[in-house]
Amino acid sequence: MRRKLAAGNWKMNGLTASLSELTALASAHPDPAADLLICPPATLIAAAAQVCAGSPLAIGGQDCHAERSGAHTGDISAEMLADSGASAVILGHSERREDHEESSEDVRAKARAAHAAGLTAVICMGESLAQREAANTLNVIGGQLSLSVPDKSTAENLVIAYEPIWAIGTGKVPTTAQIGEVHDFIRTHLESRFGSDVGRGVRLLYGGSVKPDNAAEIFSVPNVDGALVGGASLKATDFSPIIKALEESA
C-alpha cells in the first residue's frame, strides 16, 4: 500500500513570520494518516526544519543544482538542502521549466543529484492548454517521464506530480476522468520501466488549484496518492482540511 502524501509548494512566498503556519499545522496533525511535506523558499528551509523537528512535517526544497558544488553563483546543491534539514526537493516544476528554460534532461540531472544526496525527488510534469487541446497530453507526459526520471529511481526516492500548466493558480481543475487518465498512464509507464514493485510503489500526486472544497473529489480518483498544493498550502487553515480529506480517502 502506498502511503498518501500531502505536499505544499510555497513557491516565492513566505518570510520568517510564516513559520507560525508550520507550528499550527504540526500541532493540528500530530499523528497524520498521510505523509506531510512543506517546501518553503530556500531562505526558510533551515528554520522550518528546526521548527518541525520531532513533528510529522517534513521539509523540502523547490529546486537544486545538478552539480555537488562549484562556481554556480546563486545556486543551491542537493547536499546543501539535505544539510539544511530538507528530505525532499521539487524538481521540474513548470514555473522552472518556463522561467529558467529547464529541459527534461536538466531535470533528470538534478534528480540524480537529489538522489545522491539522499533526497526524495518530487518530479513535476504537465501539459499546456494548447497541448491538451491538440489531444497531445499523453505524448507530452510520456516524453517528460522518459527524459526527466532517472534510471535508478526507487519507490522511496521518487514522487511524480502531475500538474497541468493550465490548472496552476487558475482555479481551473481537470475532470476526475482527465486526472485519472493521466495518473493511470503514469502508473503504467512506471511499471513497465521499473517493474511492478517500484512502479506500483511510487506516489503520484495531482497538483493545480487543489483547494479544501475540491480535494475529496480529486483524492477519490484511483492512482491519485495525494496532492502538490500551491496557494492553499500557505495557510494552515487552508492546508489542514486538504490533509483531512486525504486522510479520509486512505
The catalytic residues are 93, 163
Q: Closest CB to ligand 13P among 79 and 96?
A: 96
Q: How far is the CB of 210 from ligand 13P (least distance, A)?
A: 5
CA dihedral 228→231→235→236, nearest 10 degrees, is -20
Q: How far is the CB of 31 from ligand 13P (least distance, A)?
A: 26
Q: Residue 61 has which C-alpha cell?
A: 526544497
Q: Closest CB to ligand 13P among 90 and 190?
A: 90
149-178: which residues touch ligand 13P (CB under 6 A)?
163, 168-169
CA dihedral 205→210→212→218, nearest 10 degrees, is -60
Q: Closest CB to ligand 13P among 104 and 209?
A: 209
Q: How far is CA 52 from CA 22, 59, 103, 134, in A?
A: 7, 8, 33, 44
Q: Closest CB to ligand 13P among 58 and 210?
A: 210
- β-bridge partners, 124: 161
181-220: which residues touch ligand 13P (CB under 6 A)?
207-210
**Of the candidates 70, 27, 75, the residue with the CA atom closest to the CA atom of residue 61:** 75
35-94: which residues touch ligand 13P (CB under 6 A)?
93
Those residues whose C-beta lies under 8 Å from the C-beta of residue 59, and which sit 6 or more positions away, are 37, 38, 39, 40, 45, 48, 49, 52, 85, 86, 87
1-30: which residues touch ligand 13P (CB under 6 A)?
9
Which of 26, 107, 123, 229 binds ligand 13P (CB under 6 A)? It is 229
Give the binding site for ligand 13P (CB under 6 A): 9, 93, 163, 168-169, 207-210, 228-232
